[in-house]
Amino acid sequence: MSEAKRRTVGRPASTAKASGGHSQSLVRGLTLLEYLAASPLGLALSEVAEMAELAPSTTHRLLQALQSQGFVTQENEQGLWRIDVKTFRIGNSFLEARDVVATSRPFLRRLTAETGETANLGIRDGATAVFLAQHESPQMMRMITRLGSRAPLHASGVGKALLAWMPDDQRAQLLDGQALARVTENTLYQPDTLQEETEQIRVQGFACDREEHAVGLHCVAACVFDEHGAPLAAISVSGPVARIPEARLLTLGALVRQMADEITQQLGGQVPR
At 222-233, the pLDDT tens digits run 999 988 889 999
Q: State the pTM of this model.
A: 0.65
Long-range contacts: 88-91, Cβ < 8 Å, 24+? 91/37
What pLDDT does 21 receive?
Answer: 44
User: What are the boundaries of each domain within the chain?
Assistant: 2-90, 98-266
What pLDDT does 17 receive?
Answer: 45
Please determine, looking at this structure, whether the domain spanning 98-266 carries the CATH number 3.30.450.40: yes
Q: Which of 235, 237, 241 is nearest to 211 (CA)?
A: 241
Distance in angstroms between the alpha carbons of the first and the last residue of the chain: 52
Long-range contacts: 195-200, Cβ < 8 Å, 24+? 197/160, 197/164, 198/160, 198/163, 198/164, 198/171, 199/164
Per-residue pLDDT of the chain (273 residues; tens, 9 = 90+): 434 433 444 445 444 344 444 588 888 988 898 888 878 788 999 999 999 999 999 999 999 999 998 888 998 778 899 888 777 777 666 555 458 888 999 999 999 999 999 999 999 988 889 998 999 888 776 677 777 788 889 999 999 999 999 988 888 888 775 678 889 998 898 888 888 999 999 999 999 999 989 998 999 999 999 888 899 999 999 999 999 999 999 999 999 999 999 999 988 888 887
Residue 39 per-residue DSSP state? -
Q: Give CA–CA dist 38/9, Å, rounded.
A: 5
What pLDDT does 7 receive?
Answer: 43
As assigned by CATH, the class of the 2-90 domain is mainly alpha
